[in-house]
Amino acid sequence: MLIDRSVIGSTSETRVFEVEKGAIRAFAHAIGDENPLYTDEDFARQHGYKSIVAPPTFPTTFRIPIPNLTFELSRVLHGEQEYSYNRPIVAGDVLRCENKVIDVYERTGKLGAMTFLVTEMRGWDLEGNPVFRGKSTAILR
């Protein structure tokens, strides 16, 4: 196995991210979703938000390394991603986030052994209220 299972439970340091309008608009444009909730502040406010809303996959832009875990990026495939929300992320939010290894396992495929790394990112507002949870599976070959 490419990663020792002893890393399960390893948690990153907490990182703080300030969610900016420009970053939300750029991300929406990059994924080809011009929903006015993501791009038009007046429209978002008319629909009850304090500013523009981040698309559901926006937390993929938050980069949080896990300590003591390194591997060759050219050998990594994105396997799966899911998000759940307590509330939408909006421009102006300041979020405290951390990443945790929740599983490591191995499977054999057509190209041989593959190691699956499952991580969970969580984000809270500055008052400690949970905002989102993201679960990601990376495949190392």
Instruction: Determine which of 70-74, 76-80, 127-131 has the lowest per-residue pLDDT on average.
Output: 70-74
Per-residue pLDDT band for 1 (boundaries 50, 70, 90) equals low
pTM of the predicted model, to two decimals? 0.90
Closest CA to 89 of 121, 111, 58: 58
Query: For residue 60, what is the domain's CATH number?
Result: 3.10.129.10
Domain range for 12 is 5-140
pLDDT on residue 26: 97
Mean of per-residue pLDDT scores for the chain = 94
Which residue bears the tokens 């509330």? 87
Work out how many domains the chain is built from and give that number: 1
- What CA–CA distance (Å, rounded) separates 8 from 116? 12
In the β-sheet with 94-109, what is the strand arrangement from edge to edge? 15-18, 94-109, 112-125, 130-140, 76-85
pLDDT on residue 17: 98
Closest CA to 74 of 134, 139, 30, 12: 139
Per-residue pLDDT band for 73 (boundaries 50, 70, 90) equals confident
**pLDDT digit string, tens, across residues 32-70:** 999 999 999 999 999 999 999 999 999 999 999 887 787
